Amino acid sequence: MKTTTFALALFLLVAVVARPADPAPLPGKAVDTSFLKKFAETRRFMLGRPQNPKIAPDGKTVLFLRAEADKPMLKLFEFEIASGKTKELLAPDAILKGKENLTPEEKARRERMRLSAGGFADFHFDKDGKNVLLPLSGKLFVFDRATAKVTELKTGEGGALVDPKWSPDGKKIAYVRGFDVYVYDLATHKESPVTKGGTATKTHGLAEFVAQEEMGRFAGYWWSPDGKHIAYEEADHTGVEVWYVADPLKPEQKPSEQFYPRPGKKNVSVRLGIIPIEGGETVWVEWDTKEYEYMAAVRWDELGPLTIQVQDRKQQKLLLLSADTKTGKTKKLLEEKDAAWINLVPDVPKYNGNLSGFVWVGADKDGETEIQLREMNGGFQSVLVPAKQRPEAVLGMHSARFDSFLMYAGGPDPTQRHIYRHKTGNLLVNPESDKDTALTTEPGVHNAVFGKFTGPYVITSTTIKAMPKSIVFNREGAKAGELPSVAVEPEFSPNVKIEKVGDYYTAIVRPKDFDAKKKYPVLLDVYGGPKHLHVVQTMRNWLVPQWLADQGFIVVAVDNRGTPGRGAKWERAIYQKFGTVPLEDQVKGLQLLCDKFPELDKDRVGIVGWSFGGYMAANGVLRKPDIFKAAVAGAPVTDWEDYDTHYTERYMGLLPESKKQYDEASLIPLAKDLKRPLLLVHGTADDNVYYRHTLKLSDALFRAGKDFESLPLPGVTHMYTSDPLVMERLWAKTATFFKTHLGEPK
């Protein structure tokens, strides 16, 4: 009787969840993961490559970080520009007694910065470059370059040490310990508090969560140019929701806590104070904090006044303000407006050497980004780099009476990023907006670091045929040498073709043993969200897609509307339409590729992505089951009311006024429509896209009687790539999942 009842129940369950349109599942077949293992253990073949190059103030050397090819522990190296020789300066093992021990605060900060290696996460020159400040394992060390002596600072107890910085004269070091700013005097080796009364709820000197995660601002305090004052952020979290991340495998451990502001709910209240380092009262900088909730950026250098960028909550208005440091009064220098949102640009304004103006990255009359020259009072002078060049950032500037120029990154092709030298003549009298010299020409993505007065410099380039390489150039622009790498190189170059098809930039990755007579199941490798380009001419982006293709697929990618690099209209087409516009474009791009390349089997298409790409993958299989026959969704946002304010409200608007748009973008109401195989993957320790997202969708699918798979990754954060074994196993499972549900080439 019990057996019969169970069999009937099982039959009814199968009847509910059966998918008669799916291909018959294939027997499980192990895939070769040897490449994945090497890919994971070498941190995507990035271990052993130079990182974070910085040019010494005297322009004679470049310091950089580098790990061994098989050990994720960053050491400090020096490259001499004149001779081209490199030597190791310092290894963490030489100054650490025992194993590196990262505090929870440092782990969270590294998560925000997307750092997975241990050892020296960063380093800082003093004014003359003779000493180097090195944070390590919750401690601070000063390295004397002349004597190679290492001195540990005798800081106080209690609280993690965060964000250390030299004073402008190199005689003191500031940092945040606990929730207050401290200054350490190197002459007396004494630590003194600058701010007092900081708590976990009301912090001093720390950038709040959304500043780090979404604004790209990791600093919460700033030295005055004369070294006598510090400007610091006070972040009041009173009333902000507290979310908890627990480790289900370790129920004996207390969950970690995080203030996590969600759309329509209380944000962190931020203000900026100025205080003497020797003690005294704080002068609070005044602006309309009710209208402009966000402090997006702060700059305070010797060439210009203390400036702050503030945004309204919708992020449709941005003010650049200068502050009187004695009274706290502010003056508006300029205002940017946009009907959708305003993108933040790092490291501006940049003031020129004679205090007669500054360079700004702003919008023209059509909302397109250009580089502008502004007067000291913010008044518009001229366009330095027009919008047609698609400038992204100002990297350096040199102002002289008859020879002024700036260095910027950008370019009209969104699949590439180049470095340009823009000659401006006399910045104040005769800007010459068309005189650009490309410092990089090979197709690829290029980044640059410039020394004082923009020379010497280091350009790090990655192309479709090569992993990143860092080349050093001297003051005259001649090649001085390459920062040496000891990295393991991939054993193949991806068989990828990038081209524009219709309105879309696309990529197509064929297997190494591609047979033009066969039809291949297709995998759409997707991201699709704003601020990120997926289709770019870099080898590193296509290594895993190549491995996937070699398992019997053709992998394709499409950059839809909403992605950067194509102009304001293209980018802002996504506004309040997360659920529709990106997916519509992915489908159109996919169809164009299938029409052009007959080897793509349009009836056997899978979709895979992580984070916003995970949202897109789940969204695709739920909304377009006629197109997508299976999906793997990693760390998907399933309900945009559960993501953070600064990102979500920028693109989706405020609640409750935009409730309809949030509902339309949510995956939860679509759970009842699942008809295709879906694998949900999520780290349980994710404090960016919380595991709650996958649980909510899983619950909705289960209650709707739908069959699906869910793979929790215990203790794994949003940056799943930091665990080599997880990365290896996850991609192997992904390949097996798609082989099962899409079949083999025919």
pLDDT in tens, 419-431: 999 987 654 444 4
Report pLDDT digits (tens) over 221-259: 999 999 999 999 999 999 999 999 998 889 999 999 999
Domain membership flag for residue 393: no
Domain count, the chain: 2
Report pLDDT for 455. Answer: 82
In a domain, 415, yes or no: no
For residue 432, pLDDT over 80 is answered with no
Asked whether the predicted pLDDT for residue 561 surpasses 90, the reply is: yes
Which residues pair with residue 472 across a beta bridge? 458, 481
Confidence label for 470 from pLDDT (cuts 50, 70 and 90): very high
Q: Give per-residue pLDDT as tens, 300-344.
A: 988 899 999 999 999 999 999 999 999 999 999 999 999 999 999
Per-residue confidence (pLDDT) for residue 294, from 0 to 100: 98
The answer to the question of residue 106 being in a domain is no
Last residue of a domain, one of 273, 293, 325: 325
Which pLDDT score is estimated for 38?
93
Residue finishing a domain among 275, 295, 325: 325
Burial of 695 per CB tally in 10 Å (0-12, 13-18, 19+): middle
Separation of alpha carbons 3 and 228, rounded Å: 82
When pLDDT is averaged across residues 693-705 and rounded to a whole number, the result is: 98
At residue 97, the pLDDT reads 73
Residue 245 lies in a domain: yes
pLDDT, residue 26, reads 46
Per-residue model confidence as pLDDT tens digits over 637-677: 999 999 999 999 999 999 999 999 999 999 999 999 999 99
Is a pLDDT exceeding 90 seen at residue 176? Answer: yes
CATH number of 521's domain:
3.40.50.1820
What was the pLDDT predicted at 118?
83
pLDDT at position 109 is 59
DSSP 193-257: ESS----SSEEESB--HHIIIII---B-EEE-TTSSEEEEEEEE-TT--EEEE--TT-TTSPPEE
Average pLDDT over residues 690-712: 98
What confidence tier does 19 reach under pLDDT thresholds 50, 70, 90? very low
Q: Is the pLDDT of residue 529 over 90?
A: yes
pLDDT at residue 356 in the model: 72
Contact 607, 523 (CB under 8 A): yes
Instruction: Tell me if 352 is assigned to some domain.
Output: no
Q: What average pLDDT does range 3-27 have in this prediction?
A: 37
- Read off the pLDDT of residues 206-218 as tens digits, 9 standing for 90 and up: 999 999 999 999 9
Span of 368-372, 449-453, 736-740 with lowest mean pLDDT: 449-453
Residue 25, beta-bridge partner list: none
Cα(233)–Cα(207) distance, integer angstroms: 7
% of residues, the chain, pLDDT over 70: 91
Q: Average pLDDT for residues 62-90, to the nearest whole number?
A: 96
Residue 463 pLDDT > 70, yes or no?
Answer: yes
**Euclidean distance between CA atoms 279 and 283, whole angstroms:** 12
Q: How many CA atoms lie within 13 A of 203 on its CB side?
A: 21
d(Cα 526, Cα 514) in Å, to the nearest integer? 22
Q: Which of 134-138, 156-160, 319-323, 694-698 has the lowest mean pLDDT?
A: 156-160
Angle at which helices 34-41 and 543-550 cross, to 10°: 170
Residue 479 CB-density burial (10 A; 0-12 exposed, 13-18 middle, 19+ buried) = exposed
Q: What is the pLDDT of residue 29?
A: 58
Q: Is the pLDDT of residue 435 over 90?
A: no
Q: Judge whether residue 28 has pLDDT over 60.
A: no
Q: What is the pLDDT of residues 282-291, one digit of tens each?
A: 999 999 999 9
Residues in the chain: 746
Is residue 383 a part of any domain in this protein?
no
Is residue 11 over pLDDT 60?
Answer: no
Within a domain: residue 624? yes
Structural domain range at position 289: 181-325
In angstroms, the CA 298 to CA 288 distance is: 16
Amino acid at 170: G
Lookup result for tokens 């280091």: 458
Does the pLDDT of residue 99 top 90, yes or no? no
In this structure, the number of other CB atoms found within 10 A of the CB of residue 95 comes to: 16
State the burial class of residue 130 (Cβ atoms within 10 Å of its Cβ: 0-12, 13-18, 19+): middle
The C-alpha atoms of residue 168 and residue 223 are separated, in whole angstroms, by 7
State the chain's mean pLDDT as an integer. Answer: 91
Any domain includes 719: yes
Domain's final residue, options 274, 305, 325: 325
> What pLDDT is attached to residue 225?
96
Question: Model confidence over 386-404: pLDDT tens digits?
Answer: 999 999 999 998 876 667 7
Which of the two residues, 720 and 164, has the higher pLDDT score? 164
